[in-house]
Amino acid sequence: MISRNSRINAFVELGKYLTDPQNTPHLEELAISANRKNNWFTVPNVLKSLSAIGTQYLHPDKLSEWCYTYQEVSNSKKVGVIMAGNIPAVGFHDALAVLISGHTLMAKLSSEDQVILPSLFEVLTQIEPALKDSIQIVDRLNAADAYIGTGSDNTARYFHYYFANKPNIIRKNRTSVAVLNGAETETDLENLGVDIMQYFGLGCRNVSKIFVPEGYDFTKFYESIQSLDQVCLNHHKYFNNYEYNKSVLLINRTPHVDNGFLMITENEALVSPISVLYYQPYHTLHDAKAHLIANADKIQCVLSNESIIENHIPFGKAQTPGLFDYADTVDTMKFLSEL
């Protein structure tokens, strides 16, 4: 097993590669290849994801602080990771955690994301050839000593059954919500629009529901997010979802408002369909907080300008998690360091 410093240095160099303008043509080729395999992965979104990895995860100081927070692994294990594929390279954090902690990664890629991670692994092993033996892309995970799995609530039950006899982290469906107080600025609302629409709303950190004061007027919100219209309307898969969900709302005579690319309707559910945003009015912020606490196991992030709940995130920051922002609040590095 190569030293911790060597592993850190390898990922730092990968970060430099991802953020070096000279490498933009190669990264654009990678993004185009990913888009051919999955139309949801637009070239701008793939490049945005790669840039975030380079700046948020692979910054030298951030990476060193993260790694040295945990004890060094003395006995390397094979860790099977079932990757999600809802947004570009969403499984990178798990891969990074496994490799940086000194374990062997057995990655079962999502059928939706077959291009990006293998390309990043190839660059990484060119930087540090000693890591090649620590990276395996597999179809089956029988030989793994521990598991990290991300999927739907149904697949999570399957994972729990099959991986019950070995250490595991199993993640279920989660979504993100926002709490508004009515005093938000146009910039706040524009940023919230990004939290809702970035990656077409497919990520667990995307806001799918907002809590608003009783009698809230959505006019200012719609005006603030109008600049996002072309991104949505020019994407055929998103627009098909918009037209379908609009038909459902109309046929069912469900009250809603519509700006031509995002429909808003009152609903107590947390997860909304693509192109639809749910809202729920509250009488007091205390009522909204009580609802968040009651559904904490289903919520990934809470976006707000109000300090009504611990660890809320400012508008516009949903899709820029740091190394310590673990999915489902389960400390992946602690789990790996204790194997």
Query: How many residues are listed for the chain in this entry?
Result: 339
**pLDDT tens digits, 102-126:** 999 999 999 999 999 999 999 999 9
In contact, 82 and 151? CB cutoff 8 Å: yes
In contact, 230 and 265? CB cutoff 8 Å: no
pLDDT attached to residue 32: 98
Residue 236 pLDDT more than 80?
Answer: yes
pLDDT attached to residue 117: 97
In contact, 131 and 2? CB cutoff 8 Å: yes
pLDDT attached to residue 330: 93
Assign 162 a pLDDT band (cuts: 50, 70, 90).
confident
Q: In whole angstroms, give the CA distance from residue 99 to residue 17.
A: 18
In contact, 24 and 30? CB cutoff 8 Å: no
Residue 56 pLDDT more than 80?
Answer: yes
**pLDDT tens digits, 188-232:** 999 999 999 999 999 999 999 999 999 999 999 999 999 999 888
pLDDT attached to residue 74: 86
Tokens found for residue 51:
């840039």
Average the pLDDT over 60-85 and give the result: 94
**pLDDT tens digits, 246-289:** 999 999 999 999 999 999 999 999 999 999 999 999 999 999 99
